[in-house]
Amino acid sequence: MKPARLIATAVVLSVAATASTMIALHTTNAAEQTLNPKAISIKLPDQIPWKLNEAAGNETAVVYGDPDKTGPYMVLYKWLPGHMSRPHWHPNDRMIVVLKGTWWVGTDKYDPDSTVPLPAGSYATHFGKEVHYDGAKNEEAWLMITGEGPATSTPASTPPPSH
């Protein structure tokens, strides 16, 4: 493709993307104004309450329920590059969808070099009372985790109860 045609194509695509974004934003704002708040709750990306946990190397945002209490919950996680959890277990099953990046998972013995990569679009279940560890290597990994609370995390040095 000739440089002039390549530039023209890039400009047209840029204008189309900008127009699509403007239409989407206008549609979103109009929908928010006409929806019944008793029927639906909406949080746009800039309204999601992210909290940084520097010690763990991640950010979390509770978007449904309360993971500290009994009942269903949904939490978004951003694992920051170069951070892995240590082996641990949870009392209940956790269902996880990788939304962005690659999430690295391992079980039993801590060895980040032998973790298994799960790319965006992957689904995994962490079964309750089973030891595992996970995290991000060279890029952020965004996860959506759902489960039944309370969502405690116990180090593997404390063996889980038998099931």
On the question of pLDDT at 150 being above 80, the answer is yes
How far, in Å, CA of 45 to CA of 43, rounded? 6
pLDDT, position 11: 39
- 75 pLDDT tier (thresholds 50, 70, 90): very high
- pTM of the predicted structure, to 2 decimals: 0.76
Q: How many CA atoms lie within 13 A of 60 on its CB side?
A: 14
Give CA angle at 37 (33, 41), nearest 5°: 100
Q: What is the pLDDT of residues 1-18, one digit of tens each?
A: 454 444 444 433 444 444
CATH T-level assignment (fold) for domain 45-155: Jelly Rolls (2.60.120)
- 34 pLDDT tier (thresholds 50, 70, 90): confident
Would you list the domain boundaries of the chain? 1-39, 45-155
